[in-house]
A and B are shown apart, each in its own frame.
Chain A
Amino acid sequence: MSDFFQWLAGLPPLAQVPIVLVVFIALIGAVLFFIEYATRPGRGYTLLRLLVTVLVPAAVLLLFGLYNSVLWVAVLAAALGGVLFIIDYRSRQGSGYFLQLIAFMAPAMLLLALGLIYPALRTLMNAFITNDGTKFAGLDNFAWVLTSPDGLTALINTLVWVLVAPVVSTAIGLAYAVFIDRSRGEKFFKLLVFMPMAISFVGASIIFKFFYDARVGEQIGVLNAVVTAFGGQPVDWLGLEPWNTLFLVVILIWTQAGFAMVILSAAIKGLPAEQLEAAELDGATPWQRFWHVTVPGIRSSIIVVLTTISIASLKVFDIVSAMTGGRSDTTVLAFEMVRQFQLGGRSGFSSALAVVLFLLVLPIIIYNVRSLKKQREIR
């Protein structure tokens, strides 16, 4: 495996792409081939299952590369494969059923376990260990988050982001969706606001760096040009504490309002027209119709949009990194976490920041899991 990747690295970048894809698709083809024949009855197919369950785990480990304990691990894997074969052979749903299920699931589930669950647990552990990784630190790292200037600023700023960005982007998206609903050129108007979604946060940051630009003499940034045109002094928007965080939040709002608009616009179009007509006949003003008919009708979509943008604002990293690099008290949890690790190798602090971030996201997870469970019960 590592030999393969090392060989691949020697090729030009764009030549690597087709090779990786062909190898990957061939592997998936082999898996599907096995799935197709796994459940068939007959001695030949049983032998096939036995060979695959015993040899594949061992072969995968051997392919990873040679190292001190590989033979033992491979033998162990083969033995476990054999146990799996026996369990499957005696399974109530018929032999092969269990194996085909594993073949479908194993690639994704193994990657998730190894690449997401295990690392997340490691981070959770590291949060309670000192930065050099030698001693148990209790809650010291969390105390650092809550008391040090960097940690506290990051936490407060993240709260500002998550309180401001979702509400404002949703409000603007909703207002815009209502204003242009069934107007002429609706598609074009939608595109104008939707387009920032295709732009990276780094690109958006450069766009806004230019927009916020401040200098002595003639202004080249729109915002300061307006300020000076009214006789004011140019303002260094990104250095203006404590407001500068809000100027960064504007960038997220700029990219997310389009998302809110598209979702809410579709929801509005899904509302039964009779309700609006009935309200109109009853003499409701447009404002009343909007507030008492439209908004309750699209409530679930509004919640989806709010939670999605909340998660995006909790995890924001790129905007801070590209706009200010965390200077002038603009740092946020996700940014500070990477900075603590990359600059000082302070894995304890960095893990504690990640855990705090997780705790902030947790209520949203619980809410979503609950509604998903409800949905699946209805089915």
Chain B
Amino acid sequence: MSLVPETTRRALRKAEATSGKLKRAATSRGATLAAFIIAAIWTLPTLGLFISSFREANDIKTSGWWTAFANPSFTLENYAKALNSGDSLTLSKAFVNSLAITIPAAVVPIILASLAAYAFAWINFKGRNTLFVAVFALQIVPIQMALVPLLQLFSDGVQIGGLYILPGLGVNGLEGAYAKVWIAHTIFALPLAIFMLHNFISEIPGEVIEAARVDGAGHGQIFYRIILPLAMPAIASFGIFQFLWVWNDLLVATVFTSGTELPITKALQDLSGTYGQSWELLTAGAFISMIIPLLVFFALQRFFVRGLLAGATKG
């Protein structure tokens, strides 16, 4: 079962079958040239930085990276230096922080969202459509609007007339505490996650669920034994999405982490501010920060594209 709607898939198969006939029409020489130029412009900046990251510090500063083809001399020293760079927080420590932030922040919202998505899809209640549209609309409320009050909420809790309803999290200034950034990422991911997973879960055939109900399963079992396994492709797609999003995020991390818990994006940004001209550190550091997302991207590309299509063709 895939996320792409059946009509699109049918059309895809048809397009593949007739592609031979149209080949000559679609690829003219000018088009191919234009495609080459776009592809070159899109790869050149990354390639330049990548080659530079292996050059000697002095070479980077005095000659363009393209001269490295004429007189090649490469080193891994930049990477060793970059991993230990940074004033209070080394890049290697920030890398570990990123992992510690990203994994829970990708898993938790998906599970919470799939519970809500199931209820939206398969449990009837008054005001279901209105509530669903409201959740969808939240998706586009800029998280900037929520950042500062949420930060205050984490430290002060909820009070009504001086009476505490909920206390704060009590982790302010505590070293090694990721609770704030986990919760923040979870909350900000929920609207999109609920929307995407609902699209998928509501398309699971009703007969399957009805059959399970006849066999005496309650909603708990149906969710665990039927919905979760069937929705795995959708869950995986969104998981990769969320993983990349959290790993690459700077804004939420800037607001909700500090000191020794900063993720790699923030460490890299600080590096680019304080060592703005230390290109040997910046080039290597940038690629260290890209390793995980690029690995995830190349290994799980199929799921990623499916997720994109589901989010977009329905949205």
Interface-side segment among A13-21, A78-86, A137-145, A241-249: A13-21
Residue of B nearest to A210 (CB): B49
The CA of A342 and the CA of B194, in the complex, are separated in Å by: 32
Q: Give per-residue flags for B107-147: 1 if the beta carbon is below 8 A from chain A beta carbons, else 0.
A: 11001110110110001010001001101111011111111
Residue of B nearest to A365 (CB): B140
| A118 within 8 Å of B (CB atoms) | yes
Query: Is A39 in contact with B45, judged by CB distance below 8 angstroms?
Result: no
Q: Give per-residue flags for B38-78: 1 if the beta carbon is below 8 A from chain A beta carbons, else 0.
A: 11001111101100100000001111111000000000000
The CA of A334 and the CA of B314, in the complex, are separated in Å by: 28
| B251 within 8 Å of A (CB atoms) | yes
Q: Which of B1-58 contact A (CB under 8 A)?
A: 4, 7-8, 11-12, 14-15, 18-19, 21-23, 25-28, 31-32, 34-35, 38-39, 42-46, 48-49, 52
Of the four ranges (under 10, 10 to 19, 20 to 34, 35 or more), the interface on chain B belongs to: 35 or more
Query: Is B176 in contact with A9, judged by CB distance below 8 angstroms?
Result: yes
Known A17-B104, A104-B123, A219-B64; contact A192-B39, beta-carbon cutoff 8 A: yes
Chain A min CB distance to B15 (Å) = 5
Query: Is B308 in contact with A334, judged by CB distance below 8 angstroms?
Result: no
Question: In the complex, what residues of A have CB within 8 A of residue B112's CB?
Answer: 107-108, 111
Q: When the two chains form the complex, which single residue of A5, A257, A272, A361 contacts B169, counting CB atoms closer than 8 Å?
A: A5
Query: Is B286 in contact with A203, judged by CB distance below 8 angstroms?
Result: yes
Q: When the two chains form the complex, which single residue of B39, B147, B167, B286 contacts A64, counting CB atoms closer than 8 Å?
A: B167
| A47 within 8 Å of B (CB atoms) | no
Question: In the complex, what residues of B have CB within 8 A of residue A21's CB?
Answer: 103-104, 107
Q: Give per-residue flags for B267-294: 1 if the beta carbon is below 8 A from chain A beta carbons, else 0.
A: 0110011000001001101100110011
Query: Is B315 in contact with A368, judged by CB distance below 8 angstroms?
Result: yes
Residue of B nearest to A263 (CB): B312
Q: Give per-residue flags for A117-136: 1 if the beta carbon is below 8 A from chain B beta carbons, else 0.
A: 11110111010000000000
Question: In the complex, what residues of B have CB within 8 A of residue A2's CB?
Answer: 167-171
Question: In the complex, what residues of B have CB within 8 A of residue A211's CB?
Answer: 45, 48
Query: Is B294 in contact with A198, judged by CB distance below 8 angstroms?
Result: yes
Q: When the two chains form the complex, which single residue of A208, A254, A289 contacts B42, counting CB atoms closer than 8 Å?
A: A254
Chain B min CB distance to A269 (Å) = 5
Query: Is B186 in contact with A111, judged by CB distance below 8 angstroms?
Result: yes
A interface size (C-beta, 8 A): 145
Query: Is B149 in contact with A123, judged by CB distance below 8 angstroms?
Result: yes
Question: In the complex, what residues of B have CB within 8 A of residue A117's CB?
Answer: 138
Residue of B nearest to A109 (CB): B116
Known A-B contacts: A183-B26, A355-B145. Give 15 more (CB < 8 A). Answer: A17-B100, A21-B104, A36-B220, A37-B220, A67-B157, A114-B187, A118-B153, A119-B150, A209-B272, A210-B48, A263-B309, A271-B15, A322-B250, A358-B142, A368-B315
Chain A residues within 8 Å of B, Cβ to Cβ:
1-2, 5-6, 8-14, 16-17, 20-21, 24-25, 28, 31-40, 61, 64-65, 67-70, 72-73, 100-101, 104-105, 107-109, 111-112, 114-120, 122-124, 126, 172, 175-176, 178-183, 189, 191-193, 195-203, 205-211, 217-222, 225, 254, 257-259, 262-263, 266-267, 269-273, 276-277, 280, 286, 289, 301, 304-305, 308, 311, 314-315, 317-318, 321-322, 325, 333-334, 337-338, 341, 347, 350-351, 353-355, 357-358, 361, 364-365, 368-369, 372-373, 375-376
The 30 listed contacts between A and B (C-beta, < 8 Å) are: A1-B169, A5-B169, A14-B100, A16-B176, A33-B220, A35-B220, A35-B223, A37-B218, A64-B167, A70-B164, A73-B163, A100-B218, A104-B219, A108-B112, A119-B150, A176-B35, A182-B23, A197-B297, A199-B46, A207-B46, A269-B12, A270-B12, A308-B312, A308-B315, A318-B265, A334-B142, A361-B142, A365-B137, A368-B140, A372-B133
| Pairs of residues from A and B, 9 with the lowest C-beta to C-beta distance, nearest first | A36-B220, A200-B248, A115-B187, A2-B170, A119-B149, A9-B177, A198-B297, A104-B119, A13-B100
